[in-house]
Structure 1
C-alpha cells in the first residue's frame, strides 16, 4: 500500500495555517473528493490530481463558502447529482453542479480559483442545534440528518421536503449509516445506544445499548458503518470492559458478539469498504467472502480489519497529529481517504490483489437478495412511448403532491398575483407582503370556508370590541423594565364568543370523525370483555352422551351494605343467567349466551329514536318494549319472555329473545313477520341496511334481508373457523373466542376471533374466507398496526380487520415472540426471499379481500402499492397477468365471461392508473408499452363504434 499526503490538500486561512477538517466523502464515479472544515467552507478536489503526482488535472475544483459555521459533514448522493453538507449553523445545503454556469474564476475576496461551478440548490432548515452527520439511501429517495438537538430528520430525496422528525434519542446524535438493502438505517448517540429504524414506516426496530455502556462522551463524532453484505453494523466508541473497541452488531438478532480491540483511545469513525471480496486462492463454489473495515479515532491510529481474521491486517499509528474525524472509501475499494483535526487529508492506496478478488455486481446483488434487495442497473428507454409515460408519471406525482399540500393547508387557496411587464420586483414583493397581511387578517373567512359560522360580529357586545389593555410595567433593581402578563380571560366582564375559535373547534371535531361512515354494523354493546367464549368438539370423535357437567352457568350475587342501621340491596347487573336450550348440550359448538339484563337500550342517530327494553319475570310481569323520540313515546309492546339482544336502524327494529325467537317491527311498531324461531338462544344480533344477522349458541350463522323477506344463504356453521378439524378428542375443548361479529349493507358477515384471525363468509362460494391473520403481522413489511387507509384517507373494512388482529396479538403478548422466530428464520439458507414473498402474498390477500368485500377505496390503494412492488421486484409474469386481468378481452367473445368491474371500479380505468404508477420502472417498460397501446386501440374502436 501507499500513503499519499499532498501539502496543498487541506483547508488553509489567509496566513496559510491549516484548519481542522471534519468530513470527507468521494463521489460515486470516484473523480471528486469533497471536504468540509473549520473554515466554514466546502471544497471539492480532483482525486486524479491527488493520486497521480504528475497529473495536469486542476487540483481544487471548487470552494463554496455559504455556510456561516463549521462544516461538520459532507455527503454525495449515490447518483452523484447532489452534494449535501451540514454545519453547526443548523442548516443543510444541497449543492448541485451547474454545467452552464459562467462565474468560473476567482472567488470574491479570495485567491482561490473555481474550475467547476457548484450552486446552492436547496437550504434545509429543521434542526435546532449543530448537524453532526448525513446519509443517503442507496436509491437517492431519502436523506437523513442527525444533530446535537437529539433529532433525526428524514428528508425527501428529490423535493427535499421534511418527511419525518424523530425525537427518540436522549442525547446528542452523532452518526448515521444506511443498510445497503435500504430497509433500515442506524443512528448512534451520546445516550450510549445505537437505534435501528425501519425505512418503511420510520419506526424503531431495535435499540442496542450493551456494547456502549460506560463509553466516553468526549468524542466529537460517533460514526457507525454498515457492511456491504448487509450482515453487520460497526458501532464506534464501544467498550469491552475498560478497553475501547468497535462493536460489530449482527443483522436480525441485533446482538454484538464480536469486538475489534486494539485502539488506545475512543474510536470516532468506522467505514466499511463498499466492495465484497473473495478470499485469495479460493474457488467461487467455496463461497468464502469477506468484508473490509477501517477504524480511526482519538488515538490518531488507523486500523484495517477483515471479517475472516481476528487480528487487524493493518495498523498505522500517528498517521495524523490530531484525532481522525472521518473516513471514506473509493467506489472501487482500493483507496481510503481520511481527514484529521490537524487540517490534513491522507489517501491510502492499495494494490489490486491486496484484499482479494472483488465480487462482481451480479454476485453482490445475489448476495443481498436474501434481504429482499432489488436494485437494478440503469435501464435505457426503448421507445418514445416510455418517455411519454414517464412524463405522465411525473405529472401525476406532482399533482398528488400539490393535492397533499392542499389537504394539509386546509383547502386554503393561495393568493394569485398578476405580474405585468411594468411592475418591478420590489412592487411585486410589496404586493405579496400586502397579500400575506390581508390573508392573515382574513384567516377567519378562509378557515371557515365549509363550516358556516353562526356567530357574527353583531352578536358580540360592543363594550368588548377595541378594548384597550392596560399592562402593568415595573422596574427591577438592575434598571430593566418588566411587563406583567395579563390573563386574557379577565380582559372583559362579558364572555366573547370568538367566531374563529368556533370554526376551528368545529373543523377539528369534524376531522376526528371518519371521512366516510364505515359500511359495517357497530360492535354489540352486550359483548363481554374478551368476547363470547366457545367450546368445541372435534370432528373425529366417538359417539357417546355428553354430561351436563360441561354446562357452566355463572351468577353474580347482590351485595349487602349496612348504612345507618338500614339494609340496602344493590341492583344486580343482570337478573339471572339465560336458560340454556336443550339442543346446546348435544351440539358440536357451544357459545356463551348473554345474561338476562334488567334494562337494555339502543339509540339510532339518524331518526333520534331510542329502543328501551325492561325485562320482566314472565307472564305475570311481562317484558316492556318502548320506542321513544326526544322523550315522547312512539309505541309500546309487551312480551312474555326475556330479551337478550337488540338491533335496529331506520328500516326496522329487532330483538333476540331468551327462547331463541327473533321479533321484528317496522320503525312505527308494526310487526313485519311472525316470530322467527331459531334452534337456540342468540349470542350476536347485528344489522346494517336491510340485513339482519344472528349467531346462535350452537354456532349457526343466520342472515336475512328484511326488506326482500329472503336470505342470501342457508344457515352456516362456525365450526370451520373455530378449528373444529384440529381437535381429535370427543371431549369439549376451549376454542378461540369470538371478539366481534359485524355485517355490512351487502349482507356480508365479518368475524374476528381472539387469536387475531378475521373471516368473512362468501355466499357465492359457500365458504369461509380468512381475510386477516397474525402471520401477516410478523412476516409482512406492509403490516401496519394503525391500519391501511384508502386514497382519500378513509379507513376501510380491511384496515379495521387488521387493527383488530393487531389488538388481539398484542393482548396475547405473541407479537415480539413471533417476530423473533421469523427474523431468525430469515437468516437461514433457503429463506433469502422470505420477507419479500410474504409481503407480496399479504398485498395479494388484501387485494382479493377488498374485491370480495366491495371496498373500492382500499382496492385502488392496495392495487397501486402491489403493482409498484411487483414492478420493483421485476416480477414480470405477475405484472403481465394482472394487466391481462384488468384489460380483459379486446374482442367481444360470447364464450368468454369477463366482468368489466371489480369492487365497483372500472377495470380498464384501474389499468390506466397502474400503468402511470409504474411508468418510471424501465425494467418492465415492454409490458407497460404493450398495454398502453392496447388501451389506445380499444379507445379508437370505441370511438368508431360510437360514431
Structure 2
C-alpha cells in the first residue's frame, strides 16, 4: 500500500466537502468545495510509482458552496448539490460551452455541460442515486429528504419525518430501501414502491434513536436512600446491552442487587434508554451513511459514542447488531469498496496437518470446516470509516481494522471514495487537500467470483496487522483501535491504550493547481511511525 497527500490547490485553498470516483475504468475523479466549483481530475498510475493527479475541468454554475458530488451508477452523469439548493446534472460534451460575458478557460482539457437542474429551496448536504440512475435522493437543512425524478426534472416525494437537518442519505443498491440520518438524533429506514402510473409510495419501517442498555453502578447506603425518592440516576458507568434490545422512546429503570460488601455498598444494574446518535452540536456538516455494495448491511456513523452502528438487511426494522468502538473522534462518513473479495483461507501446511489429524482419529473422510466470519457472508466486504482525524479500513471477516490512517491532515475529514476497481481510496478534508491511498492488485484480497463455488475452509478471524500512517502535522495521534463490540450479552466498554508518538514538522504549499508534489514518508510497521520516503504497507 502507498499513501500520499497531494499538495495541489484543489479548490483555491478552500475546504473540500465531497469527492467521488467515476464507476468505470476511465479514472475520473470529481471534487466539490467551498469555492462554489466542481472540478474533474484524472488518476494516473505509471509502473510502480505512486499515482498522480491530472487536472481536467472546472464546472462553475453553482452560486454557493458545493457540498456533495456523486457520479451516477452508470457513470455517464455527474450530480452536484450545495448551499444554493440546486442539484445540477453534468455530462461531458465535445462542444465547448462559454456563457456571454465569460472568458474561455484555456486550462480545461474537457468540456462538461449542464444536462438538467433540479431546483430546490434549501441547502443540500447529501445526495444518493437510485441503482437504475433514474432518481436522486437528497437531504437538506429544511429537515426533509426528497426524491427527484431525473428524466422528468420533478420532485416526486418529500419525506418530512425529521425535526432537524438531514445530513446523510443512502439508497439501497438492490432497489428496495432508502435511509436518512439527521442531527435530530434519528436514523430512519424506508421501503418504497413505484406504481404503474409513476407515483411512489414510501413506508417508514424503522426509526432508530434510543436503545435499552444495562448500566452497572456501585451504590452506597446513602445513594440507596436517595434512590428511594427518585428512580433516575446520573452515575457514570460501563454500558452493558440488555438481553432483549427493543427500540423504545421511554426510559425504564430496573434495580437488581447482586453483591454486598462490608461497607454496605451494592452493585446495582439499571436498565436505561440511551441515545445512540449525537445532536446538532456536532462540529460537522455531514453524517454520510452507506449501504454495502451487495446491500446486506447498512453502516451509520454515530458521533455520540464515536462509533459506527451496523444494521443487517434482514434487521432494518430492528436495532443494530454490532458497532465499531474505540474511535478517538466522531465518525463522519462510511464508504464501501465496490469489489467483493474471497474469504481468507488456511495456509496449505496447516490445512494438510488438519486433514492428517482427522484421518488418524476417524475412519470417515475429512470434512471442510465452515467459514468463520464476523459477518456470515460467503465473501468479504471492505469498507472505510472516516472520523474527524483518522480513517480506518475494515472488512466483514474479522473484528479489527485492517488499516489505520492518522495525522494525514490538519483539519477534519469530510468525505471518502473508492475507485471502481477497489484499489484506490481518496480522502477529502476541510483543510483544502486530498490524500490518496493506493493498493496493489490482490493486496486487499482476491476478488470473489460468484459464478464459481468457493471452498469453505477458512480460518477464524485473526488479528490483522493494523498499519498506522502519518504525515508531519501537529495533530495528536489517536489511540489504537479495539475490537468490534457485538451487541450481545457481553459488556460494551471502551478500552484505552497508549497513544502512538510520531515526529512533527511543518509542511509547506509550494505548487500551483496542476502541479503534483510528493510528500515523502517512511513507516515503521505496526505502531511507531517515522517520516521519510513513501508509505509501503503490506497486509498479511
Q: How far does residue 76 in structure 1 lie from its aligned partner after superposition?
A: 0.5
2:115 counterpart of 1:121: yes
Q: Are 1:157 and 2:247 an aligned pair?
A: no
1:66-81 equivalences under 5 Å are 66-81=61-76
Partner residue, 1:317: 406
Determine if contact 1:58/1:115 at 8 Å carries over to the other structure: no
Structural RMSD (CA): 2.8
The alpha-carbon distance between structure 1 residues 58 and 272, as it changes in their structure 2 partners (threshold 3 A), is closer
Of 164, 177, 184, 2:170 maps to 177
Q: Deviations over 1:234-291 (max 9, x none)?
A: 111244xxx3111111222232121111221111111111112112226999574221
Tell me which residue corresponds to 1:471. none
- Between the aligned partners of 1:6 and 1:171, the Cα distance in structure 2 is 36
> 1:93-113: per-residue Cα shift (whole Å, max 9, x none)?
1111113x0459xx9458661
Q: Deviations over 1:480-530 (max 9, x none)?
A: xxxxxxxxxxxxxxxxxxxxxxxxxxxxxxxxxxxxxxxxxxxxxxxxxxx
Q: Does residue 270 of the first structure (1) align with residue 270 of the second (2)?
A: no
Give 2:287's aligned residue: 222
CA contact (8 A) 1:50 1:59 kept: no
Counterpart in the other structure of 1:565: none
Shift of 1:49: 6.5
For residues 95-110 of structure 1, the aligned pairs below 5 Å read 95-99=90-94, 101-103=95-97, 108=102
Secondary structure of the 2:169 match is: strand
Shift of 1:221: 0.4
Tell me, in whole angstroms, the C-alpha distance in 2 between the residues paired with 1:50 and 1:136: 32
Q: CA deviation at 1:54?
A: 9.1
**Are 2:380 and 1:290 equivalent residues in the alignment?**
yes
Which one has a larger percent strand, Structure 1 or Structure 2? Answer: 2
Give 1:157 shift.
3.3
Using the alignment, how far apart are the partners of 1:363 and 1:74 within structure 2? 36
Q: Which secondary structure does the structure 1 equivalent of 2:44 belong to? A: helix
Match of 1:166 in 2: 159
Aligned equivalent of 1:516: none
Q: Distance in 2 between matches of 1:52 and 1:7?
A: 20
Tell me the CA shift for residue 334 of structure 1.
1.3
TM-score normalized with structure 1 length? 0.35
Query: Does residue 80 of structure 2 align to residue 85 of structure 1?
Result: yes
Q: CA deviation at 1:210?
A: 2.7
| Residues 303, 332 of structure 2: 8 Å contact kept | no
Which of 20, 40, 45 is residue 41 of structure 2 equivalent to? 45
Between the aligned partners of 2:423 and 2:209, the Cα distance in structure 1 is 33
Query: 1:155, CA displacement in angstroms?
Result: 1.1
Change over 3 Å in CA distance of 1:363–1:83 after alignment to 2: farther
For the residues of structure 2 that align with 1:8 and 1:83, how far apart are their CA atoms? Answer: 23
Contact kept? 1:244, 1:267, Cα under 8 Å: yes
Q: What is the distance in 2 between the residues matched to 1:28 and 1:209? A: 33
> How many Å separate the matches in 2 of 1:207 and 1:58?
42
Is 1:213 paired with 2:302? no
Tell me how far apart the structure 2 counterparts of residues 214 and 181 of structure 1 sit (CA, whole Å): 26
| 1:131 and 2:98 are equivalent in the alignment | no
Q: Name the residue aligned to 2:456.
A: none
TM-score, normalised relative to structure 2: 0.61
- How far off is 1:160 after superposition? 2.7
Any gaps of 5 or more consecutive residues in structure 1? 13-17, 365-947
Contact 1:196 1:204 in 2 (8 A): yes
Structure scoring higher RCO (CA < 8 A, sep ≥ 6) equals 2
Aligned partner (choices 431, 434, 440) of residue 351 of structure 1: 440
Contact 1:216 1:266 in 2 (8 A): no
Shift of 1:9: 5.7
Based on CA coordinates, which of the two structures has the bigger radius of gyration? 1
Equivalent residue number for residue 8 of structure 1:
8
Matches within 5 A, 1:364-375: none
In structure 2, C-alpha distance between the alignment counterparts of 1:150 and 1:257, rounded to whole Å: 28
Q: 1:261 aligns with which of 306, 319, 325?
A: 325
The alpha-carbon deviation at position 185 of structure 1 amounts to: 1.1
CA distance in 2, matches of 1:50, 1:123: 38
SS at match of 1:63: strand
Q: For 1:291-324, what per-residue CA distance to the aligned partner results, in whole angstroms no more than 9, with x for missing partners?
A: 11111122x1111111221111111111111110
**SS of residue paired to 1:291:** strand
Task: Verify the 8 A CA contact 1:4 1:51 in the aligned structure 2.
Answer: no
3-state SS in 2 of match to 1:252: helix
Query: Would the aligned equivalents of 1:63 and 1:112 in 2 still touch at CA under 8 Å?
Result: no
Residues 273 and 25 of structure 1: CA distance in aligned 2, closer, same or farther (over 3 Å): same
CA deviation after TM superposition for structure 1 residue 114, in Å: 1.1
Distance across 2 between alignment mates of 1:266 and 1:258 = 17
Alpha carbons of 1:114 and 1:208: their partners in 2 closer, same or farther (altered >3 Å)? same
Q: Is contact 2:5-2:408 (8 Å) kept?
A: no
Pair 1:7–1:167, CA change in 2 (3 A): same
* Distance change (3 Å), C-alpha of 1:119 and 1:111: closer
What's the secondary structure of 1:203's corresponding residue? strand
In structure 2, the gaps of 5 or more residues are 194-200, 212-274, 347-367, 372-376, 454-540
| Alpha-carbon distance between aligned partners in 2 of 1:110 and 1:245, rounded to the nearest angstrom | 47
Alignment of 1:412-491 (within 5 A): none
1:606-638 deviations in Å (ceiling 9; x for gaps): xxxxxxxxxxxxxxxxxxxxxxxxxxxxxxxxx
2:397 corresponds to 1:308: yes
Aligned to 1:711: none
Could you tell me whether the CA contact under 8 Å between 1:238 and 1:247 is conserved in 2?
no
Aligned length in residues: 351
- Match of 2:179? 186
Tell me how far apart the structure 2 counterparts of residues 2 and 220 of structure 1 sit (CA, whole Å). 29
Q: CA deviation at 1:52?
A: 8.2
Compute the displacement of 1:351 (Å).
Answer: 2.3
Would the alpha carbon gap of residues 110 and 348 (structure 1) be closer, same or farther in structure 2, given more than 3 Å must change? farther
Q: Is the 8 A contact 1:216 1:237 kept in 2?
A: no
Within the candidate set 54, 64, 73, 2:59 is matched to: 64
Higher helix share: 1
